[in-house]
Structure 1
């Protein structure tokens, strides 16, 4: 706040005083309040102090009345829709509607202290860890936004920890290549009794399985791969787009180059087996899209996943498309590939994601590590002792 003397012919003294107050409104936009015509400087100062307090209280009251839902929806409109892919937006919206909107979403931001938030997450610990982590992610981005625009002075989510039921990974979650081949065999078996059975489309589902298994790509990325992305000469496949399909009819599917993260875009090495499979597929598939129906259009992801699950069930395993990504990364880890390389091949934003989620080894692998480390070491020590005893006897 500051005041200035302004010349005025109408004033008795030939001048008046004007007060200026610079401030930011509730949306973080810089504003200026001015009022003039004061005969004395003290009058201008007193008015300025009162107005300054009034503006501050008005902004604080407006901010404190905002609910979490209001701030979250504002964040998604201002930043989220430009930052996230359509598929991610759908996921966030589903979590928000099912777990936040009709409950804690109605709470005032001013009431969401660390204690209140921690008690909330403690109360939903019976949910799966994936669910609670997804809810926390929404809270984190919303509070960071609120902090950036000045709605809050500190971020209590930095101290909040989440708990949830951890679903123990079944052995079936790691798909062996032999199991994959069995699934392919079932998908390709001609069965006239099946409704809408089209051999070309069903084998296209098999290509989806092979690509996911050998590249570790996400479902939307796999369904967007075209022949232009495949380089047989250099044995690489470029991952540069993904299919947008949530909430759309098949005719409205489209590909976008907006990826999940910056690391998602990459050129991946292609193994010899995948190269062989694709070269055979090229002779049957005249279209540019690798996973397509008999007309060259995008396949329906739900149909593909449903039939893959049915084929997996027939050989006694549980299947989810993301299991193939887990399998890809687990195979790399179990083969002894270093974490940095695994992270780059998995196209994670950082290595901590790889370590936290995927760096799991079987008991046999752990036993092998112990044997190689200690048994070999002790055997070497024993051999040295035997050698030394022989040397002493010879002497």
Structure 2
């Protein structure tokens, strides 16, 4: 919620919404075209059929997915449907996420888009000044709620780190917390190997001693 409030109406917002509420990989989001987004169906969904790659330094979108299991149809919740409908109305591109020319993002362009998130975090950062030809390194640690000195409109609102993969991991974790069975989680996440799903599932579901105590005691006939 803090992340979404921090970047609402900014360039990475739609990307983050897709990651959080559909669990797509970064390359799947950047390769997503509107012809694979079905918002007007009785059950709205995203069809994962393409992925973004970098070849020879240039972005390429094709049907080469990470694994065969990555090809999947992911039903999407109402909040993401509303977000995508609004984005579709404004879009003049075949891509859901595009640059100002309506074409697919380059790696450098994606880095710039993601910077809208990183500059709002309180993570320690460095900058350099040059005095008499010598480079002097400075470290700063922003405080939550402070305004960026050179940009008063920018507020440090996040005291946590965010990466594209963390959005997907959050999606998977939330499915597990809500009791979705492992095979369904595996399909929705596009995991080829069930071990990948089960490793996450076990870590999330069972790494809670306070909830497992009664199970363990019961197994040994104890109360």
With normalisation by structure 2, the TM-score equals 0.71
Q: Residue 24 of structure 2 aligns with which residue?
A: 217
Gaps of 5+ in 1: 1-177, 189-201, 378-395
Q: Residue 119 of structure 2 aligns with which residue?
A: 310
Alignment map for 1:163-242 (pairs within 5 Å):
178-185=1-8, 188=9, 202-203=10-11, 205-232=12-39, 233=41, 234-242=43-51
Which of the numbers 269, 283, 305 marks the counterpart of 2:89? 283
- Which of structures 1 and 2 has the bigger CA Rg? 1
Change (3 A) 1:179 1:369: farther
Gaps of 5+ in 2: 123-155, 219-223
In structure 2, C-alpha distance between the alignment counterparts of 1:339 and 1:277, rounded to whole Å: 28
Change (3 A) 1:246 1:318: farther
Q: Residue 77 of structure 2 aligns with which residue?
A: 271
CA contact (8 A) 1:214 1:274 kept: yes
Of Structure 1 and Structure 2, the greater strand share is in: 2
User: Post-superposition shift, 1:360?
Assistant: 2.0
Q: CA RMSD in A?
A: 2.6
CA contact (8 A) 1:330 1:360 kept: no
In structure 1, C-alpha distance between the alignment counterparts of 2:192 and 2:81, rounded to whole Å: 27
Other structure's SS at 2:100 match? coil
Q: Residue 128 of structure 1 aligns with which residue?
A: none
In structure 2, C-alpha distance between the alignment counterparts of 1:321 and 1:302, rounded to whole Å: 11
Q: Residue 352 of structure 1 aligns with which residue?
A: 195
String of CA shifts for 1:314-352, please: whole Å, max 9, x gaps: 311111111111111111111111111111111111211
In structure 2, C-alpha distance between the alignment counterparts of 1:334 and 1:365, rounded to whole Å: 12
CA contact (8 A) 1:183 1:312 kept: no
User: Post-superposition shift, 1:310?
Assistant: 2.5
Alignment map for 1:101-116 (pairs within 5 Å):
none
Q: How many positions carry a matched residue from both structures?
A: 180
Report 1 or 2 for greater relative contact order, CA contacts < 8 Å, sequence distance ≥ 6.
Answer: 2
With normalisation by structure 1, the TM-score equals 0.42
Q: Residue 294 of structure 1 aligns with which residue?
A: 100
String of CA shifts for 1:132-180, please: whole Å, max 9, x gaps: xxxxxxxxxxxxxxxxxxxxxxxxxxxxxxxxxxxxxxxxxxxxxx123
String of CA shifts for 1:33-57, please: whole Å, max 9, x gaps: xxxxxxxxxxxxxxxxxxxxxxxxx
Which of the numbers 54, 68, 85 marks the counterpart of 1:245? 54
User: Post-superposition shift, 1:243?
Assistant: 0.9
Of Structure 1 and Structure 2, the greater helix share is in: 1
Other structure's SS at 2:6 match? helix
Other structure's SS at 1:311 match? coil
Other structure's SS at 1:217 match? coil
